[in-house]
Amino acid sequence: MHASTWEVSRIVSAIGKKAGIVVDERTRGGQLVWKFASAHDLRRGFGKRWAAKLPPHQL
């Protein structure tokens, strides 16, 4: 059985939260709210690190 994209994203988000990897913090309603690492953050980090090393068509 293969995991769906949604399931993988949910698992990665749960790992980011359990590991305490905060990628953003904001104040909402006077209360500090943390955003933990997600699959999107991993993809963005990959692109940022490799953008200077690879041509766009290889990314």
Q: What is the value of pTM for the model shown?
A: 0.71
For residue 58, give both structure tokens: 């290889």
Tell me the CA end-to-end span of the chain in Å, nearest whole number: 29
3-state secondary structure the chain: CCCCHHHHHHHHHHHHHHHCCEEEEEEECCEEEEEECCHHHHHHHHHHHHCCCCCCCCC
pLDDT of residue 14: 97
pLDDT of residue 3: 83
In tens, the pLDDT along 13-53 reads 999 999 999 999 999 999 999 999 999 999 999 999 999 99
CA distance 3 to 9: 10
pLDDT of residue 4: 92
Residue with tokens 């399931």: 7
pLDDT of residue 2: 83
